[in-house]
Structure 1
Amino acid sequence: MCKLDALTHLTINGNCCESIMSYPEVGLLPHLPSLTTLQIRWFHNLETFECNQLLHLTSLQQLYISYCKEIENMAGEKLPSSLLLLEIQGCPLLEEHCMNKHQHIWPKIAHIPTIRVNGKLIDFSSGSL
């Protein structure tokens, strides 16, 4: 694989990956030191998002998860501390867990300053949208 040290934005579409149920699989993402924006979308059978596999993306500031209708869980400790924005759209199960501060999801995302669910900014400090 060629060096991707300067890559800042990456979009991964899962339209042709019907068998993937957990993302990212161990070792799937290479070391991408400059990656600031990651989009994960259209993984129709994805049920679990593995947070620990993103921890080595130390420059990651924006994470978009969209149109993964079966995703309901985030496995691992938490998303990277460098994240400034998490946006979730078209993922009804995960959206519900985020909105309700689900005990398995909330500790993994509570450190992110801006969280948007279906375009709505979530203000967890006051408990309102």
Structure 2
Amino acid sequence: MHIEECPEMETFPEGGMPPSLESLSVWNCEKLLRNPSLTLFDMLSHLEIGDLCDDGVVESFPNKAFALLPPSLTSLEIRGMSSLHTLECTGLLHLTSLQQLIIRDCPQLKNIEGERLPASLIKLEIDECPLLEERCCMKHPQIWPKISHIKGIMVGGKWI
């Protein structure tokens, strides 16, 4: 399911979303992602989030303003967040089934905070995030310990 350009949408329609939904893309619907109803999707395995830009600026993801992401996720894609500076590991640690994390088109992203990304990750893909790409490629001491446990790391279209 794909929901796009609904910046005023705050909740999912009651009874209108199949509980067996496995894949969801949400673009420019920040208020919707702040609603805890996202955690009700027990079967959701793929979530794509993009263009989060409400009246405020999203500098950190996930942060306390956002609802908990469903623990059933195996794949998470974050795209087009132009003011994102920091990826918070702590906000992702409950995603114990997460195998793939894709981060694209976040030109200000340069930090990964917290101890490390979830141990279940087997693929990390970072593209069109020049500041973070540079730090990953040079195995920066503030970044590398947080991602080095991941078997497949693709940065800027190249495996490192």
1:14 to 2:51 alignment: yes
Of structures 1 and 2, the larger Rg is shown by 2
What's the TM-score, normalizing by structure 1? 0.89
Deviations 1:24-75 (A, max 9, x none): 1126242523210000111101111101100000000000001000010001
1:84 to 2:122 alignment: yes
Q: Which runs of 4+ in 1 moved over 4 A?
A: none
Deviates more, 1:65-74 or 1:19-28: 19-28
Contact 1:45 1:68 in 2 (8 A): yes
What's the TM-score, normalizing by structure 2? 0.72
TM alignment of 1:49-60, pairs within 5 A: 49-60=87-98
1:69 to 2:107 alignment: yes
Aligned length: 122
| Alpha-carbon distance in 1 for matches of 2:67, 2:151 | 25
| Alpha-carbon distance in 1 for matches of 2:104, 2:41 | 24
Deviations 1:66-111 (A, max 9, x none): 1000010001110000000000000000000000011110010000
| Alpha-carbon distance in 2 for matches of 1:112, 1:71 | 19
Q: 5+ unaligned residues in a row in structure 1: which ranges?
A: 123-129
| Alpha-carbon distance in 1 for matches of 2:52, 2:62 | 15
| Alpha-carbon distance in 2 for matches of 1:59, 1:115 | 18
| Alpha-carbon distance in 1 for matches of 2:146, 2:118 | 9
The share of aligned pairs that are identical, in percent, is 51
- Return the match for 2:135 from 73, 94, 97: 97
Higher RCO (CA < 8 A, seq sep 6+): 1
Please give the root-mean-square deviation of Cα atoms over the aligned residues, in Å. Answer: 1.5
Contact 2:52 2:58 in 1 (8 A): no
Contact 1:6 1:33 in 2 (8 A): no
Contact 1:62 1:84 in 2 (8 A): yes
Contact 2:59 2:84 in 1 (8 A): yes
1:5 to 2:42 alignment: yes
SS across alignment from 1:40:
strand
